Amino acid sequence: MTQRVALLGKPLRRRHSQVMHDAAFAAAGIDAHYELHELEPDAVEAAVAEARGEDWLGLGVTAPYKRVVAELCDEVEPDAATIGAVNNVARTASGGLVGFNTDAPGFQAGVELAMGRPLSGIDVVVAGAGGAAHAVVFACLRAGARRVTVGNRTAASATALLERFAAIGTGSRSAVALADPAFETALRSADLAVNATTVGMVDAGVTIPVDLLPPTATVFDLVYVPPETPLLRAARARDLRATNGSEMLIQQAVIAFERWTGVGGMADVMRAAVTPLLADPNVRA
């Protein structure tokens, strides 16, 4: 029986996940395939119910259904509940559905590879307070970052984000508006600066003035389409270590694939499969 995994969302403009997982299924000799299901809101519940069938391994979930799907699962793992979003679902042998989140561990794996060191003990500045920023901040605090500063267009959203994670980690933390001089002050001593907004992909501009960063800082832009954003160009012009979100994407897929199949170590297979897509100038946000 051919097994199935489907990504639920709307819109679904990219097939990066499908390409990575299908390559991994083939490499592992698993009779399974990854599907893209672009759904209207009233079709989500039925799609989740269908995934209880014996031919299903699980689901991937993207915007705008991460919270909706969480409510339809039999169990939501603690990290996903704390972050407030489910982006993957695993089917149990009895047909139960367990929601989990790969955003935080995927980010941690990707950014630590980019920095060449762990997140523990560093000063982090994050631009944004949306869903992606929640996963980033959660990962940094849990990994033992010394200080996390969250900057957002409205400081209230940044404050709410940090309040959600008040019990995570022991590092200091602060919430500021992007226009607040305190955001610039935090950048001057940052070891890591993260863009967790859609600026550079959907919106024009740059969220982080890289000229304020110390020369040892790493810039990590979660955007991976286009592969080089204005933020990354500016950071590289200063010879800063800078990378996009493609490795986070790959690491998330590796984690989910292992949960669904029990097969690990697929990073190289997935990276090779998705690299042509990541480099294609015709792939747009």
CA 35 from chain center: how many Å? 20
Inter-residue contact 252 to 102 (CB < 8 Å) = yes
- Helical residues (DSSP H) of the chain, grouped into ranges: 16-28, 44-50, 66-72, 78-83, 103-115, 131-142, 155-164, 181-187, 230-237, 246-261, 267-279
Burial class for 153, CB neighbours closer than 10 Å (0-12, 13-18, 19+): middle
Kindly report the number of other CB atoms within 10 A of residue 216's CB atom.
Answer: 9
Distance CA 240, CA 238 (A): 5
H, E, C per residue of 242-261: EECCHHHHHHHHHHHHHHHH
Distance CA 195, CA 192 (A): 10
Containing 8, the helix (H) or strand (E) segment is strand 3-9
Amino acid identity of residue 171, one-letter, is: G
- Alpha carbon distances (Å) from 80 to 31, 144, 155, 227, 256: 29, 19, 24, 28, 13
Active-site residue set:
66
Phi, psi values for residue 98, rounded to 5°: -115, 120
